[in-house]
Amino acid sequence: MSKKERWKPSVTVAAVIEEGGRFLLVEEQTPEGLQLNNPAGHLDPGGSPLQAVVREALEETARPFEAEAMVGIYMARFVRPASQEDVTYLRIAFCGRVGAEVPGLQLDHGILRTLWMTIDELRASVERHRSPLVLQCIEDYLAGKRLPLNAIVVDPSLYAPRIKA
């Protein structure tokens, strides 16, 4: 990396959704094969992390998501076997509830299905997890880790950038 080039992690958001002792996961086709993940996705320019997790959960599960708290901020590094692409992810995980499935809403490209799994099933399927953060976020949720949603401050300039004279 040149001295002038700034390193930037890939910022993602994830939803930890639990109902009756089961967690909502997605099964998705990735360059590394069929894998399990929390409903998750990338932070888009001009969007807040909270907006992103609500959008991504809906796109990947066809269910509206209401965030209740932030579980944590995580980092992990991954090198894709085929391309040798080296990516560091910064993941902001939220927990909350989902509503009923929206009839007729298609799951996001690459998402084959949603499934509800117990913590024991998740622990037994680690080799199928898209990232080590899938289980870590859920373990932290079970440990009671919670931060208020207002722990992430979004300045209004995100939506209307200030122009310095």
Pairing of strands 65-79, 22-30: unpaired
**CB atoms closer than 10 angstroms to residue 146:** 16
Q: What is the CATH number of domain 10-158?
A: 3.90.79.10
**pLDDT at position 7:** 87
Mean pLDDT within 101-109: 95
Mean pLDDT within 69-92: 93
Alpha helices in 10-150 (DSSP H): 49-61, 119-124, 133-142
In the predicted structure, residue 21 carries a pLDDT above the cut 70: yes
In the predicted structure, residue 1 carries a pLDDT above the cut 60: no
pTM of the model: 0.92
For residue 83, give the 3-state DSSP assignment.
coil
Task: Report domain extents, the chain.
Answer: 10-158
pLDDT digits (tens, 9 = 90+) for 119-142: 999 999 999 999 999 999 999 999
Query: Tokens 């932030």 sit at which residue?
Result: 70
